[in-house]
Structure 1
Amino acid sequence: MKRVITFGTFDVLHVGHIRILERAKQLGHHLTVGISSDALNFSKKQRNPVYPEKDRSELIASLKFVDAVFIEESLELKAEYIKEHAADILVMGDDWEGKFDFLSPLCEVTYLKRTEGISTTQLIAEIRKYE
């Protein structure tokens, strides 16, 4: 059984999230998703997520192609998360291309193309126009 792991904030869930998670699941039999903690998200993006980590985890866990979720506390712990969840394949969006190749001794590292024309940052900016 091939186990796939991926990571993300998954704030303001959109079709791009759905598509990349579906494609990640197609690479194996079990998909585990690490949801960035609120603190990790703030450290990466200098803003709090719209939805708290508990709500984002619940949304992602409810998707039929997601088998397990956990809270990712640190980017530096990716190798530990891969080991802990016995992942055979790490999937990341192609905006991270090359940045996780150093993990290839632990598992296969695959970068999937993002859905063009949609991003959480773009959606939040669009919504803020109506405030």
Structure 2
Amino acid sequence: MKRVITFGTFDIFHVGHINILERAKALGDYLIVGVSSDALNMSKKGRNPVYSEADRVKIISSLRCVDEVFIEHSLELKGEYITTHKADLLVMGDDWAGRFDEFKSLCDVQYLTRTPSISTTEIIEVVRNPLSQ
């Protein structure tokens, strides 16, 4: 059984998230998703997610293509998460291309093309400033 792992915040869930998760699952038999904790999101992006980590975990857990979900508390623990979850393949969006190559000694690493013209950050900006669009 080929185990695939991916990570993300998955805030303001949209079709781009579904696309990458379905494509990740198609590369293996079992999909494991690490959802960034609220604290990790704050440290990465300088803002709290719109939806709490509990809500984001519930959303991701409800997807047919996802087999297992856990909270990612630290970027520095990615290698441990890969090992603990016995992942054979790490899948990330191509906006991260090359940034996770250090884990190729633990598993295969593949970067998938993101869905064009959709971004959580852009959606949040449109909602906050509807007249500026």
Aligned counterparts of 2:110 and 2:130: Cα–Cα separation in 1:
38
State the TM-score, normalized to the length of structure 1: 0.98
Q: Give the deviation of 1:129 after TM superposition.
A: 1.8
Q: Distance in 2 between matches of 1:129 and 1:43?
A: 24
Equivalent-residue separation in structure 2 for 1:90 and 1:113 (angstroms): 14
| Deviation of 1:130 (Å) | 4.3
Give the equivalent residue in structure 2 for 1:30: 30
Q: Could you say which residue in structure 1 is the equivalent of 2:86?
A: 86
Tell me the equivalent position of 1:99. 99
Trace 1:44-123 onto structure 2 (pairs within 5 A).
Answer: 44-123=44-123
Extract structure 1 runs of 4+ deviating beyond 2 A: none
Query: Which sections of structure 2, spanning at least 5 residues, go unmatched?
Result: none
Whole-Å separation in 2 of the counterparts to 1:126 and 1:103:
36
Is 1:16 equivalent to 2:16 in the alignment? yes
Partners of 2:130 and 2:99 in 1: CA distance = 36
In structure 2, give the amino acid aligned to 1:101. D
Q: Report % sequence identity.
A: 66
State how far apart, in whole Å, the 1-side matches of 2:65 and 2:99 are.
26
Provide Cα deviations, 1:87-106, integer angstroms capped at 9, x if missing partner.
Answer: 00000000000000010010
**How far apart are 1:48 and its partner, in Å?**
0.3
SS in 1 for 2:6: strand
TM-score normalised to the size of structure 2? Answer: 0.97
The count of residues paired between Structure 1 and Structure 2 equals 131
CA RMSD of aligned residues (A): 0.9
* Structure 1 residues 53-77: Cα deviation after superposition (integer angstroms, max 9, x where no partner): 0000000000000000000000010
2: CA distance between counterparts of 1:4 and 1:130?
38
Structure 1 unaligned residues grouped into runs of 5+:
none
How far, CA to CA, are the matches of 2:130 and 2:20 in structure 1? 29
Q: Give the whole-Å Cα distance in 2 for the aligned partners of 1:57 and 1:41.
A: 14
